[in-house]
């Protein structure tokens, strides 16, 4: 890491150097913006929340005496006379992953101070997120229509409904919050708040394109969590 | 901050005159400190009363707000403990109290004391006040978020206390909130009470997360020039590590509370198996009550250390300052804090040895638990070794430190009883447990809080507290609390279970009536003695001796601000620059018996500083 | 008074209290004397450390209290001392842990000849079921519980027919014969605890938990619920009689089996219908 250079700091070689860098004065993560560091730690904490949910799900699924429903039947979509398993969910996942891509591009254009491109890409990300939430609402209403409830489930163990609605709901809330922030940030980008370093409405911290990257971290995390939820609910 | 590398020595402290020749404050190469990596913080200064004192963004004010609100809830917890002790010692005087009341009081007392009092006080109170000052920052890194954090805590407290006034009253399920009983008829407050409790906890966690992110990033990314990790006071290390634990442990509490609320509101069966109550089979089925216990204790055990680690850190600093001696084995102390913090995530099921979980877990968790005893013991040794060959000022602060050592060692030893599976079997869920955790996480941290109050009060207010009143306060509290909890262990040996509203006339517990009366009397005295402190504070605010700068001749940065009490922004125009660790006390050859952290090496050339 | 004296008196008082306390554990009445031994061991080691640390503290307070002009020692670290202390502590802790784990291993492995007892808990009481001649308990289901089938025994299970039902909170045990307590709860958590037997375990609804002991002192004992289970927790008591072989047999003979219960109920049913016909 000795060739790494951050303004005002030269990294030292070897493990010993690494330890020294870590423990050195002022900052532990050299050149890392406070907000970014904060988001990383917040996401670590959030990871624990989702882990608790998923571990509880495993335990709940393992200890319930009633049969667990077969996901490829429960989640199948009836298209043109045939049941296609996991169709909707495949589309949802695709949309969400794509939105991660547009988010990454938005960050790039943000740092290039390309206000227009950045703004449009954030907007595209937001729309991707919105589509995801919409499809999830569709999935929920389909299941509810079939009689699945948090407290009961015609296809087997009641915990299926409980965990499904709780965990996807919790994740959906994350996506929705992300979408709201994306819209706000899109507005702020178009309005030039980051170029002009205008102060935040509440925090009175000077605006900076790094904020978009911070939101991007959150967005990628939400996508990543979805992959796990997807695997646990739909593939297991 | 600016880029100028020449900006070397900023604050002159009393000791900065050098012993041999070299002009004071001269800038030589040995004083070189790397230039600033981060720009100076841009702060929002409040103008009106509201922005200055209510929705304030200054961490010091937020710290005091946290302190006051936590103390307020703590007093409620104390009053509840009086009521319980009245019932246990003098049931004939407590005829107004039903078993329902008793269990509600136990629950609210336990939860308030652990979460809303100690956690909020150590992290929210001391963390906010001390972290920026001790690491040489102008403020927490996200002042706005910090302000919201306090107000979330405020709402959480309001929701918690509101549960006293809802139909059915507050939850009476024990602070562990174990389902199924916590949400079933047969437990007081199983309706609105438990829901408000869960809601309040969720709000607390949300608020705490906002504060916690602040503490962590401030320590990680906003230290002043020269402040390396290994130059941080142990107080900062303790609070920092505790915050890390909190960030990773509270999620489990959040998830547990959420799932339990859903079980209650929507009728899901996360924690609810098939249940037959009053002759009827309930709608629930298939859930696992033990899952909740795992979630709870995955939070609950680290929580113990969330309270203990800041206490460890603070006490180390107090002992060092008032023994005029460096803390013994600083590096060991730091690593012990970190190791204890890490291990605390692998011991949670020692609370569940007799819970009906797979008994094979017992081997694992007993082993990890006893491993934790080693770094903890090292800390104790280092505290007493710091006293050894020190120059101990036997003032009020030191008395609290000594009281802490006695109670903590006592409680730590009984912890080894309870951690060691087999020994735990006869003792778990008896008064031995009550005595143990009150000693180790009730009284011992309380001693630290009191010591810290006497120590930092001059910094917060600019006036000293009365030593005389302080000593009375100490002896009443220490002797009283010790005589509450030391004999109580023996009730546990007899086999008296905890959470018993009344003993009736079990043949072998009737002999304990006398002891219960004694304990209750002591509890009333200890509680009343706390009003000495309140009186002392009120009186000293007006008439206390002015503290002046650095009244204890301490080294760490918080005492070196240009104005006392420090103003918003802490450091005036220029941030301090740190040249050494905070424990250079009684350095041979140095003029004074302390060398502040900002004293440059050129000022102490003739002395034998070993560690910088 | 010098604070050191008071601290010293506190330590001394603690030791004296421990020696002269009239409150101490009840005489053990089961094989788990080994638990008392582990406690005693922990007491010696832990108590020794407590006294040593506190007395050292008191010594320091006397010896090194503040004197104007005196300097404390300046010695940030003492690697050797720290090492010695670490290893000594580790050894001490290991010495405490090992016996603990050994006894725990005995605790969770039930002897083959143990009599199985189904202890059923509810808010707020106990009842018991013993295996009949076949030595096996019939399987149960909470949903089967009703007035005619107070234990929820599955009727199709042949093992259940001769089960001995004790619908009372008083149980008798045979002296010097291990028992395996199978805990079951129909509603919330409970814990069947007799202080003199030392052992305990929670009853958890939805699962069956267990522990074992061997009573070795005839007499009468009180059962206390040791896991909070709602407002009636403190009143959830029961009684155990430990009897010698003969008395135990006599008692057992008097108890009703599940088939007895069914027969009795059928009789009642029969006479009821007969009455109705008349
Ligand atoms: C002198 C002050 C205190 C007194 C007299 C006191 C008294 C009591 C009493 C009588 C109980 C109920 C025991 C039972 O029936 O099982 C109790 C429980 C408890 N106390 Fe305290 N207490 C005090 C301070 C504290 C402090 C500072 C803490 C902070 C850790 C604390 C934490 C708890 C907890 C966690 C419980 C368990 C609640 C439960 O069983 O759910 N107490 N206390
Ligand atoms: Cu624990
Ligand atoms: Cu109970």
Give the number of the atom of ligand 1 that is nearest the alpha carbon of residue B523: 5
Provide the pLDDT confidence category of residue A208 given band limits of 50, 70 and 90. Answer: confident
Q: Identify whether residues C219 and C97 lie together within a single domain.
A: no
Q: Does C84 touch chain B (CB under 8 A)?
A: no
A159 touches chain B (CB under 8 A): yes
Give B10's pLDDT tier (boundaries 50, 70, 90). very low
A137, A27: one domain: no
- C200 confidence band (pLDDT: 50, 70, 90): very high
Task: Give residue B438 CA to ligand 1 midpoint distance, Å.
Answer: 7
Structural domain total, chain A:
2
Contact yes or no for C142/C185 (Cβ under 8 A): no
Chain C hits for B286, Cβ within 8 Å: 206
C49 part of contact set with chain B, CB < 8 Å = yes
- Give B149's DSSP letter: H
CB of C199 within 8 Å of any CB in chain B?
yes
Q: Which of C14, C108, C204 is facing B359, going by the closest CB pair?
A: C108
Nearest to B223 among A26, A51, A52 (CB): A26
Q: Which of B8, B37, B56, B143 to mutate to test the interface with A (most CBs of A within 10 A)?
A: B37
Q: If 0-12 CB within 10 Å is exposed, 13-18 middle and 19+ buried, where does residue B67 land?
A: buried
CB atoms within 10 A of CB A115: 18
Are B234 and B258 in contact by the 8 Å Cβ rule? The answer is no
Q: Name every chain B residue with its beta carbon within 8 A of the beta carbon of A59.
A: 288, 291, 294
C102 and C172 share one domain: no
Instruction: Please answer yes or no on whether B268 and A202 come within 8 Å at the CB atom.
Output: no
Identify the residue among B88, B91, B178, B181 best suited for mutation to test binding to C, counting C beta carbons within 10 A and taking the highest. B181
Residue A157 has pLDDT above 90, yes or no: no
Say what the pTM is: 0.93
What is the complex's ipTM, to 2 decimals? 0.93
Option in A27, A46, A204 nearest B38 (CB):
A27
Nearest CA of chain C to the CA of B131: how many Å? 24
Task: Give C128's strand partners.
Answer: C119, C166
> Residues A108-136: what's their mean pLDDT?
92
Q: What is the pLDDT of residues B102-133, one digit of tens each?
A: 999 999 999 999 999 999 999 999 999 999 99
Residues whose beta carbon lies within 6 Å of some atom of ligand 1: B 81, 84-85, 106-107, 109-110, 113-114, 118, 174-176, 434, 438, 441-442, 446, 481, 498-499, 523, 526
Q: Are residues A98 and A21 in the same domain?
A: no
- Residue-level pLDDT at B9: 32
Q: How many CB atoms lie within 10 A of CB A203?
A: 16
- Per-residue pLDDT tens digits for C153-195: 888 888 888 888 898 889 999 999 999 999 999 999 999 999 9
Size of chain C in residues = 278
Whether residues A53 and A161 fall in one domain: yes
Q: Which residues pair with C211 in a beta bridge?
A: C181
Quick one: A55 and A133 in the same domain?
yes
Of the ligands numbered here, which is closest to the C-alpha atom of B352?
2
B vs C: CB pairs below 8 A = 331
Domain co-membership, C82 together with C147: no
C68 within some domain:
no
| Nearest CA owner, ligand 1 atom 28 | B442
Option in A31, A51, A162 nearest B270 (CB): A162
Polymer length of chain B = 612
What CATH number does residue A156 fall under?
A: 1.20.120.80
pLDDT digits (tens, 9 = 90+) for C202-214: 999 999 999 999 9
Return the residue whose CA atom lies nearest to atom 6 of ligand 1.
B81
- Domain identity same for C160 and C177: yes
What's residue A118's pLDDT? 92
C1 touches chain B (CB under 8 A): no
Candidate from B106, B310, B441, B503 with most ligand 1 atoms within 8 A of CB, to mutate: B106
C95 shares a domain with C119: no
By three-state DSSP, how is residue C140 classified?
strand
Instruction: Report the C-alpha gap between B593 and C215 in whole angstroms.
Output: 66
Examine the domain organization and report whether A18 and A43 are in the same domain. Answer: no
Contact C195 B387 (CB under 8 A): no
Look over chain B and give the mean of its residue pLDDT values, rounded to a whole number.
89
Which chains lie within 8 Å of chain A at 3 or more CB pairs, if any? B
Q: Which of B233-247, B498-512, B540-554, C109-123 has the lowest mean pLDDT?
A: B498-512
In chain B, the percentage of residues whose pLDDT exceeds 90 is 71
Q: Whose CA is nearest to atom 15 of ligand 1?
A: B499
Chain B CA closest to residue C121: B276
- B contact residues 27-86, partner A, Cβ 8 Å cutoff: 33-38, 42, 44
Residue C267 sits in the same domain as residue C169: yes
Tens of pLDDT along B307-340? 999 999 999 999 999 999 999 999 999 999 999 9
Cα–ligand 2 centroid distance for A144 (angstroms): 42
Type and span of the H or E element at C202: strand C202-203
pLDDT at B17 over 50: no
Closest listed ligand to the CA of B343: 2
Average pLDDT in chain A:
87
Chain B contact for C6 (CB, 8 A cutoff): yes
Q: Is the domain of A16 the same as that of A40?
A: no
**By residue range, what is the domain housing residue A140?**
33-235
User: Does residue B57 contact residue B147 with C-beta atoms inside 8 Å?
Assistant: yes
On whether residue C276 sits in a domain, the answer given is no
Taking the centre of ligand 2 as the mean of its atom positions, its distance from the CA of residue B385, in whole angstroms, is 27
Residue C161: give its domain's CATH number. 2.60.40.420
Look up the domain containing C25 and give its range: 3-63+77-108
Q: Is the CB of C55 inside 8 Å of chain B's CB atoms?
A: no
Query: Which pair of tokens denotes residue B283?
Result: 């709608």
DSSP code, position B415: H
Judged against a pLDDT cut of 50, whether residue B5 lies above it is answered with no
Claim to verify: residue C34 and residue C123 sit in the same structural domain: no
- Gap between the Cα atoms of B382 and B397, Å rounded: 18
Name the pLDDT band for B7 (thresholds 50, 70, 90). Answer: very low
From residue A49, alpha-carbon distances to A28, A37, A43, A100, B257 in Å are 25, 19, 10, 22, 12
Position B28 confidence tier, pLDDT thresholds 50, 70, 90: low
User: Same structural domain for residues C24 and C140?
Assistant: no
C-alpha B269/C-alpha B289 separation (Å) is 10
| Residue C193 placed within a domain | yes
Subunits adjacent to chain B (3 or more Cβ pairs under 8 Å) = A, C
Rounded mean pLDDT of B56-84? 94
Residue A40 pLDDT > 60: yes
Residue nearest to atom 1 of ligand 1 (CA): B523
Q: Count of A–B CB contacts within 8 Å?
A: 152
**Are residues A55 and A130 both part of a single domain?**
yes
Would you tell me how many other CB atoms lie within 10 Å of the CB of residue B347?
A: 23
Query: From CA C184, how far away is CA C142, in angstroms rounded?
Result: 10
Tell me: pLDDT of B3 over 80: no
Q: Is pLDDT above 70 for C229?
A: yes
Per CB-CB distance under 8 Å, the chain A contacts of B230 are 23
Confidence at B18, pLDDT banded by 50, 70, 90: very low
Q: Which residue of C has its CA nearest to B417?
A: C42
**Edge-to-edge strand list for the sheet holding C219-225:** C170-174, C237-243, C219-225, C190-193, C202-203
Q: Is residue C173 part of a domain?
A: yes
- The counts of H helices and E strands in chain B are 16, 2
C47 and C129 assigned to the same domain: no
Mean pLDDT over residues A75-104, rounded?
84
Q: Which two tokens stand for residue A188?
A: 């702020």
Are residues C134 and C40 part of one domain? no
CA distances in angstroms from A224 to A99, A185, B571, listed in the order given: 12, 22, 43
pLDDT in tens, B244-258: 999 999 999 999 999
CA C103–ligand 2 middle distance (angstroms) = 21
Q: Give me the sign of the Cα torsion angle A103, A109, A110, A111.
A: positive
Instruction: Flag if A64 and B251 touch (Cβ within 8 Å).
Output: no
Best-predicted range by mean pLDDT (B1-10, B42-51, B478-487): B478-487
* Contact between chains at C57 and B387 (C-beta distance less than 8 A): yes
Q: Does the residue C41 lie in any domain?
A: yes
**β pairing state of C219-225 and C164-166:** unpaired
Measured in Å, residue A54 CA sits from the centre of ligand 2 at: 24
- Give chain C's domain count: 2
Q: Judge whether residue B301 has pLDDT over 60.
A: yes
* DSSP state string for chain A: -TT-EETTEEPPPHHHHHHHHHHSSS-SSTT--HHHHHHHHHHHHHHHHHHHHHHHHHHHHHH-SSPPP-HHHHT-EEETTEEETTHHHHHHHHHHHHHHHHHHHHHHHHHTT-HHHHHHHHHHHHHHHHHHHHHHHHHHHHHHHTT-BTTB-TTS-HHHHHHHHHHHHHHHHHHHHHHHHHHHHHHHHHTTTTTTTPBPTTT-PBP-THHHHHHHHHHHHHHHHHHHHHIIIII-
Which of B86, B425, A109 minimizes the C-alpha distance to C34?
Answer: B425
Between B76 and A33, residue with greater pLDDT: B76
Tens digit of pLDDT for each residue in C58-99?
999 999 988 888 888 888 888 899 999 999 999 999 999 999
pLDDT band, very low/low/confident/very high, at B4 (cuts 50, 70, 90): very low
Average pLDDT over residues B445-461: 95
Shared-domain flag, residues A24 and A51: no
A101 touches chain B (CB under 8 A): no
DSSP character at residue C166: E
β pairing state of A82-84 and A77-79:
antiparallel
Q: Are residues A18 and A50 in the same domain?
A: no
pLDDT tens digits along A3-27: 445 666 778 888 888 888 888 888 8
Taking an 8 Å cut-off on Cβ atoms, the answer to whether C71 and B391 are in contact is yes
Query: Residue C224 domain-assigned?
Result: yes
CA of B430 relative to ligand 3 center, distance in Å? 12
For A122, residues 6+ apart whose C-beta sits below 8 A from its C-beta are: A103, A106, A182, A185, A186, A189, A212
Over residues B369-375, the mean pLDDT reads: 93
Q: How far is A170 from chain B (nearest CA, A)?
A: 10
Residues C121 and C244 in one domain: yes
Closest-lying ligand to the alpha carbon of B437?
Answer: 1
Closest-lying ligand 1 atom to the alpha carbon of residue B437? 30
Q: Residues B558-606: pLDDT tens digits?
A: 999 998 889 888 888 888 999 989 999 988 888 888 899 998 888 876 6
Say whether both A15 and A127 belong to one domain: no
What value, to the nearest 5°, has the Cα angle with vertex B455 and ends B344 and B595? 95
Chain A residues within an 8 Å CB radius of B258: 166
Indicate whether C207 and C143 sit together in one domain: yes
B14 pLDDT tier (thresholds 50, 70, 90)? very low
Which residues on chain A are in Cβ contact (under 8 Å) with B209? 42, 45
Q: What angle do CA B450, B405, B112 make, to 5 degrees?
A: 45
* Residue C278 belongs to some domain of the structure: no
Q: Are A64 and B286 inside 8 Å of each other by CB?
A: yes
Q: Is residue B146 within 8 Å of residue B211, measured between CB atoms?
A: yes
> B440 alpha carbon to ligand 2 midpoint, in Å?
11
Reference C128, options C202, C183, C178, C189; nearest CA is C183
Cβ of B266 within 8 Å of Cβ of A9? The answer is no
Q: How confident is the model at residue B53 (pLDDT cuts 50, 70, 90)?
A: confident
Q: Does A26 lie in the same domain as A68?
A: no
Helices B361-387 and C33-63: crossing angle in degrees, nearest 10, is 20
Torsions phi, psi for B260 (to 5 deg): -70, -40
Q: Do A48 and A4 sit in the same domain of this protein?
A: no
């Amino acid at each position: 890491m000795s060739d790494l250079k951050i303004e005002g700091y030269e990294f030292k070689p070897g493990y010993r150097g690494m330890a020294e860098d870590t423990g050195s004065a002022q900052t532990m993560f050299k050149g890392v913006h406070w907000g970014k560091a904060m988001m990383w730690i917040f996401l670590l904490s959030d990871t624990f929340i989702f882990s608790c949910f998923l571990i509880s799900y495993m335990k709940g699924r393992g200890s319930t005496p009633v049969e667990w429903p077969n996901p490829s039947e429960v989640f199948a979509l009836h298209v043109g006379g045939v049941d296609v398993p996991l169709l909707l969910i495949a589309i949802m996942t695709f949309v969400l992953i794509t939105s991660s891509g547009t988010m990454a591009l938005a960050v790039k254009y943000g740092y290039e101070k390309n206000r227009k491109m950045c703004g449009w890409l954030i907007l595209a990300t937001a729309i991707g997120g919105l589509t995801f939430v919409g499809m999830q609402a569709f999935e929920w209403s389909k299941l509810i229509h079939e009689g699945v409830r948090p407290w009961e489930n015609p296809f087997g163990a009641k915990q299926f409904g409980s965990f499904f609605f709780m965990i996807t709901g919790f994740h959906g809330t994350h996506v929705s919050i992300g979408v709201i922030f994306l819209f706000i940030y899109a507005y702020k980008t178009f309005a030039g708040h980051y170029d002009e370093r205008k102060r935040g409405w509440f925090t009175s911290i000077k605006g900076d394109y790094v904020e978009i990257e911070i939101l991007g971290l959150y967005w990628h995390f939400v996508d990543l969590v979805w992959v796990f939820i997807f695997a646990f609910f739909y593939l297991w | 901050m600016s880029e100028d590398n020449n900006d070397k020595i900023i604050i002159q402290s009393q000791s900065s005159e050098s012993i041999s020749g070299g002009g004071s404050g001269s800038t030589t190469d040995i004083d070189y400190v790397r230039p600033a990596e981060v720009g100076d913080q841009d702060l929002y200064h409040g103008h009106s009363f509201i922005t200055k004192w209510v929705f304030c963004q200054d961490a010091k004010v937020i710290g005091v707000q946290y302190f006051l609100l936590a103390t307020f809830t703590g007093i409620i917890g104390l009053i509840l403990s009086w009521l319980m002790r009245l019932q246990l010692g003098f049931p004939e005087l407590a005829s107004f109290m039903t078993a329902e009341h008793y269990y509600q009081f136990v629950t609210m007392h336990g939860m308030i004391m652990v979460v809303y009092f100690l956690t909020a006080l150590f992290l929210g109170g001391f963390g906010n006040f001390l972290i920026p000052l001790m690491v040489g920052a102008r403020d927490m890194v996200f002042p706005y978020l910090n302000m919201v954090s306090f107000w979330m805590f405020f709402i959480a407290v309001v929701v918690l206390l509101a549960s006293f006034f809802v139909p059915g009253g507050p939850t009476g399920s024990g602070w562990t909130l174990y389902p199924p009983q916590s949400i079933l008829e047969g437990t007081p407050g199983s309706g609105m009470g438990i829901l408000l409790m869960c809601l309040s906890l969720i709000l607390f966690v949300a608020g705490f997360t906002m504060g916690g992110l602040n503490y962590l990033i401030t320590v990680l990314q906003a230290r002043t020039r020269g402040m390396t990790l290994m130059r941080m006071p142990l107080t900062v290390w303790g609070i920092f590590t505790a915050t890390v634990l909190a960030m990773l442990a509270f999620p489990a509490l959040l998830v547990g509370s959420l799932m339990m609320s859903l079980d209650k509101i929507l009728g899901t069966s996360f924690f609810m198996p098939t249940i037959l109550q009053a002759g009827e089979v309930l709608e629930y089925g298939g859930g696992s009550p033990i899952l909740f216990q795992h979630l709870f204790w995955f939070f609950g055990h680290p929580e113990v250390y969330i309270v203990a680690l800041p206490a460890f850190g603070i006490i180390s600093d107090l002992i060092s300052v008032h023994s005029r001696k460096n803390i013994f084995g600083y590096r060991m102390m730091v690593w012990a804090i970190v190791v204890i913090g890490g291990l605390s995530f692998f011991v949670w099921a020692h609370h569940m040895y007799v819970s009906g979980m797979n008994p094979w877990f017992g081997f694992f968790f007993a082993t990890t638990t006893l491993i934790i005893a080693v770094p903890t013991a090292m800390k104790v040794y280092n505290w007493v070794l710091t006293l050894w060959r020190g120059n101990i000022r036997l003032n009020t602060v030191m008395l609290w430190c000594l009281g802490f050592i006695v109670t903590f060692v006592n409680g730590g030893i009984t912890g080894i009883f309870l951690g060691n599976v087999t020994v735990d079997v006869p003792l778990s869920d008896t008064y031995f447990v009550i005595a143990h955790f009150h000693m180790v996480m009730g009284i011992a941290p309380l001693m630290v809080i009191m010591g810290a109050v006497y120590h930092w009060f001059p910094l917060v207010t600019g006036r000293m507290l009365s030593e005389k009143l302080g000593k009375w306060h100490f002896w009443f509290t220490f002797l009283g609390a010790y005589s509450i909890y030391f004999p109580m262990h023996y009730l546990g040996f007899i086999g008296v279970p905890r959470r018993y509203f009344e003993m009736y006339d079990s043949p072998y517990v009737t002999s304990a009536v006398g002891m219960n009366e004694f304990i209750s009397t002591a509890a009333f005295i200890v509680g009343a003695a706390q009003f000495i402190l309140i009186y002392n504070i009120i009186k000293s605010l007006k008439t206390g001796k002015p503290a002046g700068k650095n009244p204890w001749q301490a080294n760490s940065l918080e005492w070196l601000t240009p104005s006392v009490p420090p103003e918003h922004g802490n450091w005036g125009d220029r941030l301090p620059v740190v040249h050494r660790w905070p424990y250079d006390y009684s350095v041979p050859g140095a003029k004074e018996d302390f060398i502040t952290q900002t004293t440059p090496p050129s000022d102490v050339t003739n002395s034998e500083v070993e560690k910088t | 008074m010098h604070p050191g004296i008071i601290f010293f008196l506190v330590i001394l008082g603690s030791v004296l209290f421990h020696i002269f306390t009239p409150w101490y554990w009840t005489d053990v009445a089961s094989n788990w004397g080994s638990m008392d031994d582990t406690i005693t061991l922990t007491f010696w080691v832990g108590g020794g450390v407590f006294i040593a640390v506190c007395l050292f503290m008191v010594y320091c307070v006397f010896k090194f209290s503040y004197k104007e002009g005196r300097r404390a020692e300046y010695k940030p670290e003492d690697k050797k001392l720290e090492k010695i202390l670490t290893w000594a502590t580790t050894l001490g802790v290991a010495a405490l842990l090992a016996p603990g784990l050994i006894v725990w291993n005995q605790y969770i492995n039930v002897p083959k000849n143990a009599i199985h007892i189904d202890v059923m808990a509810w808010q707020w009481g106990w009842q018991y079921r013993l295996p009949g001649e076949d030595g096996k308990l019939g399987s149960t289901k909470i949903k089967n519980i009703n007035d005619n089938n107070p234990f929820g025994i599955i009727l199709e299970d042949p093992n259940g027919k001769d089960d001995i039902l004790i619908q009372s909170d008083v149980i008798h045990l045979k002296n010097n014969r291990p028992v395996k307590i199978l805990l079951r709860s129909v509603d919330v958590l409970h814990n069947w605890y007799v202080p003199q037997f030392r052992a305990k375990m929670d009853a958890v609804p939805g699962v069956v938990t267990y522990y074992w002991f061997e009573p070795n002192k005839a007499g009468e004992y009180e059962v206390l619920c040791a896991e909070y289970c709602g407002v009636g927790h403190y009143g959830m008591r029961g009684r155990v009689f430990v009897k010698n072989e003969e008395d135990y047999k006599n008692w057992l003979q008097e108890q009703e089996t599940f088939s007895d219960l069914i027969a009795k109920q059928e009789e009642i049913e029969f006479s009821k219908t007969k009455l109705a016909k008349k």
